[in-house]
Each structure stands twice: as structure tokens, then as C-alpha cells.
Amino acid sequence: MGTPLENWVNEAAQLTRPDRVVYCDGSEAENQGILEEMLRGGDSLTLNESTYPNCYLSRSSPNDVARTEHLTFICTPEKDDAGPTNNWMDPVGAKHKVGALLSGAMRGRTMYVIPYILGPVNSPLSKIGVEVTDSPYVVANMRIMSRMGKVAQDRLGASADFVPGLHSLGDLDPMRRYIVHFPQEKLIWSVGSGYGGNALLGKKCFALRIASFMAREQGWMAEHMLILGLEAPGGKVTYMAAAFPSACGKTNLAMMVSALESQGYRVWTVGDDIAWMRIGADGYLHAVNPEAGFFGVAPGTGFHTNPNVMEAIHRNTIFTNVAVTAKDEPWWEGIGEAPPPGLINWKGDAWDSSKGPAAHPNARYTVPANQSPSISSQWEAPEGVPISAFIFGGRRARLAPLVYESFDWQHGTFVGATMASETTAAATGEVGITRRDPMAMLPFCGYNMADYFGHWLEMGKKIPHPPKIFHVNWFRRGADGKFLWPGYGENVRVLKWILERVEGRGSVQETPIGYVPGPGGLTLDGLKISPEAIEELLRVNPDDWQAELDDTRQFFDKFGTRLPREMREEHERLGRRLQRTVTA
């Protein structure tokens, strides 16, 4: 009789038949061995030792470059418990089908056992997972993204309180790729992909899909949110959490260099992708970042847009699917320099402009969080940081104004539930299609989203000092098709208004959808932007919103009677407010 951990590892080994099983301790010596193993695999290389010490480039299989949502399943006994927005398989059928693909999948390979902690080591909000994998790349990434090895095994001891995740690369054929979740059993199986959210099982699979299910059972929240602290003149820091869909700006907002730094406004990073939140003794919702690193989108990241990231990723960083220069330095579109001669694209071929982008649009860097110059002194606080504002947002070329404030928690929940955004390269499929993505959780909610909205409403009743809820849109375009708002470090101007609203100050103007900044509400000094652009950015067009209302009704109809009554109520209220402006 072994420990529950050993018993589960043995079971996984009996199914997958690896040549050897290695328990990872997380040490530096072990890491160097894993990285060498990754290099022997052939699709990885070391980068320039003097300018990028201890940095690696890994090229994934060209058909394995993003999350595959159509191959991701929630396996609850009842289909309706997964809900209309999730792919569903019954647990028995899923075990049979995916078990057949995992059977013998690790023959000739090493099975690495990665015990890991999600959340600060000594936090009561933290949880333990164990991933077994046959991919050295996954081990090296999990070492950056989580607290893994001995520290986790010591905390776990002989306890059975961990979420197991079984991962195998299989043959990397998308026809034999499945990412399946068993929320009742708190178990994850993934086969056929080595990429990001498909393979680093602590990230989207555990920290969001399984955790969201646990959070509803246990009265807390697991959200696809960054966590930041906004420092104001005088030094007071106010914490905010923001949910934007994949590749819509969380990392960049959380790690920005503030354009208002000379006025005393600075942004500190607590997390860039996921927030776990519980009501604290002080009556505020407290958030921890379950992760220990950032798996960020490389394209678009440069010294002008995000100097903090650029500084962080010069050492101990794994790059995935970026291009590489003749000097063995990573390169991507938007890095701020023209493509240098001798560039090799993400597939490993000599690049020229006829070959499309040199870096894959979903190319990523994996970097330890504490390497960011913007890392918050509170980022590992065991009790988490108190959240004063929630910010929803997405990519909307039209419709959504730069920023607006909801009327109250219930309305704010409706604003989150009716979010939509243009799709990005973070998931396979067409890019730029507007789709509904409630709370940026569409691909990550481990249960029926109608019940998820219900959980939000319940939490609102329980939190003595609930965060105020806002919505932002950095991606509104003008008639010329260009972004109206400069974004990045300038987004602090919007955060400043949000801070003022949290403190009950700031100029507002009421619209049918909520409050937008009133005259002089946004601090715009030092920014070259026309008054017309600002007017367009803050405009609420009743006709566009009427069309939006019809679309959200259709979306809500998918949930049938399971949709909380409050969501229909808010829908009707918005309709009435819009009607009044049209007739006024």
C-alpha cells in the first residue's frame, strides 16, 4: 500500500506503460536535465547565452499551436450539468474512448510525476494537483508556472486531497486529441497535444474548469482574471481584477508601465490570467494568483507597448513558436524592430514576407512571475489581496464604449454574462468572429453556465463589500478601421477613473447601459487624441445596443428555464432604458 499519490501514479503507469517513472523534486539540477531532454527531442534550441541566458525556444508541431476547444469536454453524468456552452461526453464513454488512446501511449518514454501547488505555498486558498506527463517541455513549463516538486509533495504528504491530471503527447494527431474533465471525480485526462492550456494541466484544466466547479460547491470563485494593484499618489494601493477573453489584454494590463507615473499612478502585478477568490474576514473578496509564472502572448509585446515584459523575458524564459534571429535571439511581430536579415520563422524555415508572420500569432513566452519589475510586494500574500473593482472587457470594433460602470452587482453580473469578443489565435478556429464569452469563461467553465451566473448572483449577496463592476473596450475602431484608443500604458487613465468611482468620486454621465465618464472625467493630459475620437469612444448608440439586446436574448434562450430569473430581469430593464432614449 503506497500513499494515495503513489497509488494513482501506479494506476496511470499501468494504463500508459512508460519505460520509467520519475518523481520531480523541482531542483535546479533536475531542471537542467529536463531541459537537456527537451533539447534532445529536436524541436527546441538554446538562445543567445549572453543576451538571453538560460532561455530556450521550443517549436511545437504546426498542428498543435493553440487550445482546441472543439476537442475539450466536460464529462458529467448528466449532459445538462455541462450546459449548452460546453462539449459533453458521458464519463464512462469518455474513459473508454480516451482510455484507449492513453493505453500504452508512454511506451519507450519517461513518465514525469509533477506534484504542484496552485497558489502561494502557505495560503489557505491554495490547492494541490499532480500532473503526470511524457513531455519534458511540459515539465519545464510547469516548473515556471507553478510551485512544483518537493514543496508540493511535502505539503501533500499522505493526503488524498489533490487533483490528478494524466497527460500524454500521444501521437500529436488532432484526430486523436482529447482534453477531458471529470468534475465530480476532480480528474483530468489529456492526450494528443503538447500545447499550453491543453497540456499544462494546472492552468485552464485545473485552475479554471475543475476549480470553477469546486468553487461553486464551496462558496468561492475561480475566474479568468488578472489581478493588479493601482498605486495612487500618496502610496495607497487599490486592487482590481479583470476578465478579458484569451489574447485580449490581461497580461498587458497587469504588467503595464503607467503613462501617469509622473502623476503618481503605478500598476503592480499580482496575476495575469487566473484569480481564485474567497470572502475575507474584513468582508472584502480576497484574490490569490494560483500561478507562479506568466504564459504570455509574444506578438505585440515590445519596448513601447510593454517594457516590463521585455525586461522580464531576458533570462530563464521558454519561448514557444517565436521566430529566431541570426544572433539566436527571439523575434516576433510587434517587438518594435524590423525583421532582421537571416530570420528563421516559427516553423524553423528561412523567413521572407511571402511566408506570412515569422512568429505564430499565438507564440508565447513562459517566464517566472517574480522576474517582472512590476511584481507586487503582495503577490504571494497568503490571505490574498482585497478586490475593489471587477473589470470585464473584450474586443469589440463597434458597440462597447471605452469604459462604463454598472449600476449594481446584479446589473454587473448581467454585463459579464452578456460579454462578447472577437475570437483570437489563442484557440484554433477562425479569428475575428464576434462570439458571446460570458466573464471570459466560455471555454473554461466546468459546469452549466446558467448555474455559474446563479453562483455569481449568490456571491453578490454574501460579500459584505462587493467589488464595483465595470466594462472596458480598448479595441473600438474608427471609420478608418484603426483603433481609436492608444491602449497599453495609456489604459491607466481608465483605471484612474475606475479608482475614483470606487472611492465615490469622478465625473459620470448616465446612459442606458451604465455610467460612462462625464466631461473631464478621463485624465487626458499629455495624450494626443482628438475630442471627436473621445466622443466616439464613449458613445452609446441605442440602435446598435438594440441589435445587441436581440442577440443576447437568443444566447440566454439556450439555457432555457435554468437561466436565473435575474438575468432576464436585467435584460428587460436594459430594453426599457434603451426604449426611453429612443423615444426621448
What does the H/E/C string look like for 363-377?
CEEEEEHHHCCCECC
Residue pair 538/510 in contact (Cβ under 8 Å)? The answer is no
Taking the least distance from each CB to ligand GTP, the nearer of 393 and 564 is 393
> Which of Mn ion, ligand SPV, ligand GTP, none does residue 296 bind (CB under 5 to 8 Å by kind)?
ligand GTP
If the CB atoms of residues 91 and 249 are measured against ligand SPV, the closer one turns out to be 249
Q: Which residues bind ligand SPV (CB under 6 A)?
A: 67, 196-197, 203-204, 246, 273, 295, 426
Q: Please, which residues bridge with residue 508 across strands?
A: 517
Tell me how far, at minimum, the Cβ of 146 lies from ligand SPV, in Å.
12
Among candidate residues 24, 55, 248, 445, the one labeled active-site is: 248
223 is a contact residue toward Mn ion (CB under 5 A):
no
Query: Is the CB of 111 or the CB of 425 nearer to ligand SPV?
Result: 425
Task: Extract the C-alpha cell encoding 54.
Answer: 538560460
Tell me how far, at minimum, the Cβ of 433 lies from ligand GTP, in Å.
Answer: 16
Would you count residue 69 as binding Mn ion (CB under 5 A)?
no
Give the nearest distance from C-beta 500 to ligand GTP in angstroms: 20
**Please, what is the minimum distance in Å from the beta carbon of residue 455 to ligand GTP?**
22
CA atoms within 13 A on the CB side of 353: 3
CB of 287 to ligand GTP, least distance (A): 16
Q: Is 48 helix (H, G, I), strand (E, B) or coil?
A: coil
Residue 197: contacted member of ligand GTP, ligand SPV, Mn ion, none (CB under 5 to 8 Å, by partner type): ligand SPV
- For 447-493, give the secondary structure using H, E and C: CCHHHHHHHHHHHHHHCCECCEEEEECCCCECCCCCECCCCHHHHHH
Q: In this chain, which stretch among 173-181, 239-247, 320-328, 411-419 interacts with Mn ion, using CB under 5 A?
A: 239-247
* 411: partner contacted, choices ligand GTP, ligand SPV, Mn ion, none (Cβ within 5-8 A by kind): none
Give least dist CB 192 to ligand SPV, A: 15
Question: In angstroms, rounded to a whole number, what is the distance separating the alpha carbons of residues 397 and 391?
Answer: 18
The site for ligand GTP (CB under 6 A) is made up of 244, 246-252, 272-273, 296-297, 299-301, 305, 426, 474, 483, 487-488, 491
Residue closer to ligand GTP, measured from CB, 299 or 386: 299
Q: Is 272 in the site for Mn ion (CB under 5 A)?
A: no
Rounded to a whole number of angstroms, the minimum distance from the CB of residue 388 to Mn ion is 23
**In angstroms, what is the minimal distance from the CB of 227 to ligand GTP?**
12
Minimum distance between the CB of residue 273 and Mn ion, rounded to whole angstroms? 4
> Chain-centre distance of CA 554, in angstroms?
27
Task: Show Cβ contacts of residue 410 under 8 Å, excluding neighbours closer than 6 positions.
Answer: 457, 460, 566, 569, 570
Considering the complex, state which of residue 86 and residue 246 has its C-beta at the smaller distance from ligand SPV: 246
Taking the least distance from each CB to ligand SPV, the nearer of 168 and 246 is: 246
Q: Which does residue 491 touch among ligand GTP, Mn ion, ligand SPV, none (CB within 5 to 8 A, set by kind)? A: ligand GTP
| 248 belongs to the catalytic site | yes
Burial of 429 (0-12, 13-18, 19+ CB in 10 A): middle
Among ligand SPV, ligand GTP, Mn ion, none, the one that 116 touches (CB under a kind-dependent 5 to 8 A) is none
Q: Which is nearer to ligand SPV, 197 or 517 (CB)?
A: 197
Q: Does residue 116 sit in helix, strand or coil?
A: strand
The set of cell numbers assigned to 256 is 503595464
> What residues have CB less than 8 Å from 171, skipping those under 6 apart?
192
Strand 237-243 and strand 468-472: the pairing is unpaired
Buried/exposed code over 296-307 (b: 16+ C-beta within 10 A; e: otherwise): bbbbbbbeebbb
Q: Considering CB distances under 5 to 8 angstroms, the limit depending on partner class, which of ligand GTP, ligand SPV, Mn ion, none binds residue 153?
A: none
**Near Mn ion by CB under 5 A, which window of 36-44, 74-82, 153-161, 266-274?**
266-274
> What burial class does residue 577 get, using C-beta atoms within 10 Å of its C-beta: 0-12 exposed, 13-18 middle, 19+ buried?
middle
Residue 273 engages Mn ion in binding (rule: CB under 5 A)? yes
Give whichever of 69 and 81 is closer to ligand GTP, judged by the CB atom: 69
Which pairing describes strands 468-472 and 364-368: parallel, antiparallel, or unpaired? unpaired
Q: Which of 158, 165, 169 is nearest to 180 (CA)?
A: 165
* Contact partner at residue 540 from ligand SPV, Mn ion, ligand GTP, none, CB < 5 to 8 Å by partner kind: none
> How many residues in total does the chain contain?
584
Q: Which is nearer to ligand GTP, 151 or 529 (CB)?
A: 529
Residue ranges of alpha helices (H) inside 2-64 are 4-16, 28-40
Q: Which three three-digit cell numbers place residue 427?
A: 484557440
Residue nearest ligand SPV (C-beta atom): 197
Helix axes 542-557, 565-583, angle to 10 degrees: 160
In the numeric block, which cell numbers belong to residue 60?
511545437
Amino acid at 271: G
What does 471 interact with, of ligand GTP, Mn ion, ligand SPV, none (CB < 5 to 8 A by kind)? none
| Binding residues for Mn ion, total number by CB under 5 A | 2
Would you tell me the crossing angle of helices 449-462 and 211-218 to the nearest 10 degrees? 40
**Of all helices (H) and strands (E), which one includes residue 268?**
strand 266-271
- Compute the least distance from the CB of residue 13 to ligand GTP, in Å: 32
Q: Does 437 bind Mn ion (CB under 5 A)?
A: no
Residue 203 binding target from ligand SPV, ligand GTP, Mn ion, none, CB below 5 to 8 Å by type: ligand SPV
Which lies closer to ligand SPV via its Cβ, residue 438 or residue 466?
Answer: 438
- Residue 133 binds which entry of ligand GTP, ligand SPV, Mn ion, none, with Cβ cut-offs from 5 to 8 Å by kind? none
Q: What is the DSSP string of 325-385?
A: -TTS-EE-TTSSSPPPTT-B-TTSSBP-GGG--SS-TT-EEEEEGGGSTTB-TTTT-TT-E
Q: What residues act catalytically? A: 248
| Contact set with Mn ion (CB under 5 A) | 246, 273
